[in-house]
């Protein structure tokens, strides 16, 4: 079974906007050959937002994504088919740190009148799995990396860098989940 680790960045504001207004501005992903690896490949793309094209100061500071990064980016309806092509055929399980990414993918598919890929329904919330396996409260990716003795690499809140870090955690968590079955 292959595992697709995904991390999204989305439009965001310090306050005053609902989650329903957020939309994807970056997809980062790492493909694992099995629960313990190795990494087969990486994929990333910026995504041009349509509802709120101008990124907030808060969003640019949090993600380090520049306005010009999304100016020239393809739209979600162009990016999603490319992403699915990169993932390749089933079987695979989608993995993310928390439920946010899966929900945001679903929301953006709805926004753009695209069918939500049924293959994404096979999803593992690594954040919850990590907390359950370690007997701790759910924590952010950076805290989980520290808990596992790993170092955050790259820029936090950048899709591809976070996907790489989550993939390191996945290679610890997923084999333990295999042992539960």
Q: Which residues are catalytic?
A: 9, 157
CA distance 91 to 108: 23
User: What Rg value do the Cα atoms of the chain yield, rounded?
Assistant: 16
Exposure string over 53-79, b if 16+ CB within 10 A, otherwise e: eebeeebeebbebeeebbeebeebeeb
**Tokens linked to 127:** 């954040």
Strands of the sheet containing 2-10, edge to edge, are 39-46, 24-32, 2-10, 92-96, 123-125
């Amino acid at each position: 079974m292959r595992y697709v680790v995904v991390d999204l960045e989305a439009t965001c504001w310090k306050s005053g906007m609902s989650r329903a207004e957020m939309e994807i501005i970056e997809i980062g992903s790492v493909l694992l050959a099995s629960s313990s690896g190795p990494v087969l490949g990486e994929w990333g793309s910026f995504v041009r937002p349509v509802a709120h094209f101008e990124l907030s100061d808060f969003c640019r500071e949090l993600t380090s994504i520049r306005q010009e990064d999304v100016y020239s980016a393809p739209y979600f309806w162009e990016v999603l088919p490319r992403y699915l092509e990169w993932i390749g055929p089933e079987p695979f399980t989608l993995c993310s740190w928390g439920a946010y990414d899966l929900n945001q993918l679903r929301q953006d598919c709805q926004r753009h009148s695209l069918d939500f890929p049924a293959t994404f329904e096979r999803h593992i919330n690594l954040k919850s799995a990590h907390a359950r396996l370690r007997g701790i409260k759910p924590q952010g990716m950076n805290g989980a990396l520290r808990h596992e003795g790993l170092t955050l690499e790259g820029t936090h809140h950048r899709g591809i860098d976070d996907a790489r870090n989550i993939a390191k955690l996945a290679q610890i968590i997923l084999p333990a989940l295999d042992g539960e079955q």
